[in-house]
A and B are shown apart, each in its own frame.
Chain A
């Protein structure tokens, strides 16, 4: 499941700071773009509209009413059930990622207002171990979904993840079932669930809660799928089509409802709320 591997080093930011150099290569069109121009533009490529990866905190700023966000379950942190060790131990890897991202885990959860509508939401952050889903991510998704049932308010998830977290083995895999079961409860309780997919969303996250939204929205040009493109290429031994697993490809194949620009996501959600709840 955790097949998606981070391959390119030139992404948005490293350690939450501006990377060295004034130029960035766009993942969407491969053009070299002046970095400041992208930053002014909510980290959207002015040439091809590719939406660069942004942190969970940055997303919050763009999405929820100012000052309305209350973080919940921020004190959950991972342990190392398998005593997993590769080049470094999983425990050290967690510490390293906590320091690098300023986050305790790969997901931020809480309640907020979106244009006055109360919601429960979870936002994944790719900079923390590739947004991978371990026990904490699964637990936060389940708790947030249960909270939205209790408070009778919509549930929003913003996904960006390489999939299940290998270092927690079977516990990670089981989070897929756990999170999906909680979404099932939410649906039985008549709660609206909107799933937003960002670049990249793969594996155990796509194959669980992120694909279960009543409405599924993707950011332009995001790479989204079950198996990572490299794994597929190795399996079928053929080059993949150009737009394969990009947001428009998913739209064309009926897998998502719409592709929405970051700039108008908040307005779009508010409109949906107005029409449905």
Chain B
């Protein structure tokens, strides 16, 4: 198996390559080096937990964008049964950057929508790198309205660099599509649970996450602007920006799950197995599924009116300002 290692995972890579080599050498031969391998494996675990317990915001951003990281469809496959995908916004086209459909999570029928990135060049282009056009947001709204009518909860997965900045997207009302989703989600008379599984890129992510409960995976991020975009605006040297600049911007933006929990923007952090979601997709999926079910158990006791009222208050109170009185 070819694994993809990030820069700061190099020490892990070196050891894992060594372990693979030892395994190959000992395979079918009469030498026993299993204790040696065990020792190395423990060392990998130690180094990995050391690296992963002190990740910087920029390193977390890179993990959130890791090419091996599970995407929406991977989670759909792992946590749902009987999934039926739905397509199109009934107005212009189908947007492959967002997938939507109906399925069951542990016997609970749900409507699911989420950003979808592609794996491999061809699929990446097909999915437009998870950057939706207006049609994607309109498709999402369509299935959410369906959920409302048939009293099913809505589950959304967030994983996008942002809404696509292109000519067609502007011509067809990218801003309007996002704005309408924000407004309609705030009024939707059925529970909405959102999970940031990778990148939460600005308005394009928000347009799927006006929820009753918002969770983030341990190494995901959610931000008003990407560290690259932020760095380009702040240090205005666009062409020779480097890791240091992005790292500084990522620090400044406070975009990690841990930051957002401290700000009470999210309701909880879903733990990832050691080394990140991509090292154990099944384990991550199980954690996600448990959080969804628990959140729904709580939300299903509320009437639609109460849900909408609480959701309004939830967003209404977000803000940080002072009000001087005379």
- Asked whether any CB of chain B lies closer than 8 Å to the CB of A231, the reply is yes
Measured in the bound complex, the distance between the Cα atoms of B224 and A208 in whole Å is: 14
B324 touching A75, Cβ below 8 Å = yes
Find residues 124-177 in chain B having any chain A CB closer than 8 Å to their own CB. Answer: 162-167, 169-176
Q: Of A30-38, A163-171, A265-273, which stretch is located at the interface? A: A163-171
On chain B, the residues within 8 Å of A2 by CB distance are: 224-225, 229, 233
Find residues 210-253 in chain B having any chain A CB closer than 8 Å to their own CB. Answer: 210, 222-225, 229-230, 233-235, 252-253
Chain B: number of interface residues, binned into ranges: 35 or more
- Asked whether any CB of chain A lies closer than 8 Å to the CB of B260, the reply is yes
B265 touching A170, Cβ below 8 Å = yes
On chain B, the residues within 8 Å of A157 by CB distance are: none
Closest to A142 in B: B316
Using known A-B contacts A1-B224, A226-B163, A253-B171, determine if residue A173 contacts B319 with beta carbons closer than 8 Å: no
On chain A, the residues within 8 Å of B202 by CB distance are: 1, 164, 173, 204
Closest CB-CB distance, B244 to chain A, in whole Å?
A: 14
On chain A, the residues within 8 Å of B162 by CB distance are: 1
A170 touching B254, Cβ below 8 Å = yes
On chain A, the residues within 8 Å of B186 by CB distance are: 177, 180-181, 184
Measured in the bound complex, the distance between the Cα atoms of B309 and A198 in whole Å is: 33
B319 touching A171, Cβ below 8 Å = yes
Using known A-B contacts A75-B325, A169-B223, A170-B255, determine if residue A175 contacts B183 with beta carbons closer than 8 Å: no
Closest to B162 in A: A1
Find residues 175-194 in chain B having any chain A CB closer than 8 Å to their own CB. Answer: 175-176, 178-180, 182-184, 186-187
User: Could you pull out 12 A-B pairs where Cβ atoms are within 8 angstroms?
Assistant: A73-B323, A77-B324, A82-B252, A86-B234, A138-B318, A139-B321, A170-B223, A170-B260, A173-B224, A226-B165, A227-B165, A227-B174
B-to-A contact residues, CB < 8 Å: 162-167, 169-176, 178-180, 182-184, 186-187, 202-203, 206-207, 210, 222-225, 229-230, 233-235, 252-255, 259-260, 263, 265, 311-312, 315-316, 318-326
